[in-house]
Amino acid sequence: MKYMTAEPFRIKMVEPIKKSTKAERQQWLKEAQYNAFRLKADDVYVDCITDSGTSAMSTHQWSAMMLGDESYAGCRSFYELEKSVRDIFGMPMVQPTHQGRAADYIMAQIYCKPKKYAIGNMHFDTFRGNAEVMGTYPVDLVIDEGLDSASPSHPFKGNLDINKMQSLVDEKGADQICVIIITVTCNNNGGQPVSMQNIREVSEFAKKYNIPLVMDSARLAENAYFIKTREEGYADKSIKEITREMFSYCETATMSSKKDGLVNIGGLFVTRNKDVFVQANQLAIVHEGFITYGGMSGRDMEALAVGLQEACDEQYLEYRIKQVKYLGDKLKAAGIPIIEPTGGHGVYVDGRRFFPQIPQHEFPSQRLVVALYEESGVRAVELGACAFGSKDEEGNPIWPELETMRICVSRRVYTNNHLDVIVNALSDIYKNRDSYKGMKIVHEGPILALRHFTAGFELLK
């Protein structure tokens, strides 16, 4: 396959996107209070705010949708989905949910306890929101390399730090830890993978102290691909052999199918614990829908059953990971500071190194999001002072260690020409970087962990 370096698909249907002028974008930014989440998608040229629910489906998925069985109970589409999930997760019990955060909610209801600690490499924000509501303390114990955007050396920057977990157990007592959650890949620090060895060691630790282990597995296939290509002993294993081994170490897994499910909506709660499954079924019936659909339509379950299989296809994964790396390599070549190595689903630009003159409390990465949209109509997202800022018990702000702008690459959606738009625009902004000033928040919602979705900003003059 020496010459076959292009996409492993061709395009059958196209979706027009709109070009706009800088003056129009400045007006739209003002109306959105400089929050990219509040822009209209129609006013965006290349949308990199998320990789969630933005995938392009295949001909096989679209045709599977026509087979959707919309029966309330026991529909055939559920059994198709269950079969596909069992094949990839190697776990027996499957509860669909309407999306990942619903699975997070069920998981938090079952595993989170008030005033206890939930350990994670880096918890995803919707789980943080759920934990906050439950009165559980989420703690991020990723390895130090995972918090150092400039250190390129580590191949698995999503790994949990066993020594930090041990210190927390020694300090608080094992009975104060209600759950350990491994997020694969680790979104918050760059879509960085977790190694099989680390998953194994965390699982041994969890067993030793009798703490349940959960996997937040939205990007399970991308993580498996990194294990295959970076970890010794896995080069000859298939992606599914790797995913099954990953899940063999945990009791329960949640998944947002909007990522590696290659569909636009849906989630999964998967477990090997019968008691947990019974509780999950009850919570699903109250909040999601009957146990064989959990908030998904039959046709959506059909598309997901197929999408999960396609995401585990090695030719697809090779294309996927290499496309993201293409963007990372080009930005790096332009001198732009990014988290290295490039992760699975996007490129993360270091806002502090990009705009050293803007202090963290003036939101350098958010300023970069605004600049990128203003110049090019490309929409990225801040993962920094706004999204991850927190407060101590006295209400003093705590600023996160990582301060980034995440440029997500949707699956099978954009060509490398679209990615070049980003490279060209960011390069020009970088040349002019001294002329930018910071921002301040003028409005925020009541749940701190979720403020980036609705906050309003002003530009400092």
Taking CB under 6 A as the criterion, the residue among 43, 69, 80, 104 binding ligand PLP is 104
407: which strand partners? 347
> Least distance (Å) from ligand PLP to the CB of residue 365?
19
Subset of 110-139 contacting ligand PLP (CB under 6 A): 124, 126
Q: Establish if 323 lies at the interface with ligand PLP (CB under 6 A).
A: no
Residue 102: C-alpha distances to residues 108, 199, 388 (Å): 10, 24, 21
Task: State both tokens at 194.
Answer: 């977790």
Residue 389: C-alpha distances to residues 129, 144, 290, 325 (Å): 13, 19, 37, 28
> Least distance (Å) from ligand PLP to the CB of residue 440?
28
Which residue's CB is nearer to ligand PLP, number 127 or number 457?
A: 127
Q: Establish if 260 lies at the interface with ligand PLP (CB under 6 A).
A: no
Subset of 429-448 contacting ligand PLP (CB under 6 A): none
Subset of 23-52 contacting ligand PLP (CB under 6 A): 52
Q: Tell me: cis bond preceding 341? Omega within 30 of 0 counts.
A: yes
Tell me the C-alpha distance between 251 and 211, whole Å.
Answer: 10
**What torsion, rounded to 10 degrees, do the Cα atoms 4, 9, 10, 13 define?**
-170
Q: Tell me: cis bond preceding 254? Omega within 30 of 0 counts.
A: no
Which residue's CB is nearer to ligand PLP, number 122 or number 305?
A: 122
Dihedrals phi, psi of 97, to nearest 5 degrees: -135, 170
Q: Establish if 404 lies at the interface with ligand PLP (CB under 6 A).
A: no
Taking CB under 6 A as the criterion, the residue among 58, 84, 187, 203 binding ligand PLP is 187
Q: Establish if 259 lies at the interface with ligand PLP (CB under 6 A).
A: yes
163 contacts: CB under 8 Å, gap ≥ 6: none
By beta-carbon distance, which residue lies closest to ligand PLP? Answer: 100
Q: Are 75 and 65 in contact (CB under 8 A)?
A: no
Taking CB under 6 A as the criterion, the residue among 64, 82, 101, 430 binding ligand PLP is 101
> Least distance (Å) from ligand PLP to the CB of residue 324?
15
Single out the residue of 388, 454, 351, 366 nearest to residue 125, CA to CA. 388
321 contacts: CB under 8 Å, gap ≥ 6: 222, 225, 226, 229, 344
Which residue's CB is nearer to ligand PLP, number 174 or number 448?
A: 448
Q: Establish if 385 lies at the interface with ligand PLP (CB under 6 A).
A: no
Q: Establish if 258 lies at the interface with ligand PLP (CB under 6 A).
A: yes
- Count residues near ligand PLP (CB under 6 A): 15
Which residue's CB is nearer to ligand PLP, number 28 or number 388?
A: 388
Which H helix or E strand runs over 214? Answer: strand 213-216
Which residue's CB is nearer to ligand PLP, number 117 or number 124?
A: 124
Task: Kindly write down the DSSP assignment for every residue of 275-314, as one continuous string.
Answer: HHHHHHHHHHHHHT-STTTTT--HHHHHHHHHHHHHHT-H
Determine the Cα angle at 451 with ends 445 and 453, to 5°: 105
The end-to-end CA distance of the chain, in Å, is: 55
> Least distance (Å) from ligand PLP to the CB of residue 256?
3
Build a one-symbol-per-residue string for 202-241: x at contacts with ligand PLP by CB under 6 A, - elsewhere: --------------x-x-----------------------
Q: Could you tell me which stretch among 254-262, 300-308, 332-340, 358-366 binds ligand PLP (CB under 6 A)?
A: 254-262
Which residue's CB is nearer to ligand PLP, number 88 or number 425?
A: 88
Single out the residue of 184, 193, 328, 158 nearest to residue 253, CA to CA. 184
Q: Establish if 267 lies at the interface with ligand PLP (CB under 6 A).
A: yes
Q: Establish if 412 lies at the interface with ligand PLP (CB under 6 A).
A: no
Residue type, 240: K
Q: Could you tell me which stretch among 110-118, 255-263, 352-360, 418-426 binds ligand PLP (CB under 6 A)?
A: 255-263
Q: Establish if 96 lies at the interface with ligand PLP (CB under 6 A).
A: no
Dihedrals phi, psi of 47, to nearest 5 degrees: -100, 110
> Least distance (Å) from ligand PLP to the CB of residue 267?
5
346 contacts: CB under 8 Å, gap ≥ 6: 48, 51, 190, 191, 324, 406, 407, 408, 409
> Least distance (Å) from ligand PLP to the CB of residue 121?
10
Instruction: Indicate which residues carry an active-site annotation.
Output: 72, 124-125, 216, 218, 259, 452
Task: State both tokens at 146.
Answer: 């995972």
Which residue's CB is nearer to ligand PLP, number 263 or number 423?
A: 263
Q: Could you tell me which stretch among 80-88, 251-259, 281-289, 334-342 binds ligand PLP (CB under 6 A)?
A: 251-259
Determine the Cα angle at 39 with ends 37 and 45, to 5°: 110
Q: Establish if 183 lies at the interface with ligand PLP (CB under 6 A).
A: yes
Chain-centroid distance, C-alpha 134: 22
> Least distance (Å) from ligand PLP to the CB of residue 259?
6
Which residue's CB is nearer to ligand PLP, number 104 or number 310?
A: 104
Which positions lie near ligand PLP, rule CB under 6 A? 52, 99-101, 104, 124, 126, 183, 187, 216, 218, 256, 258-259, 267
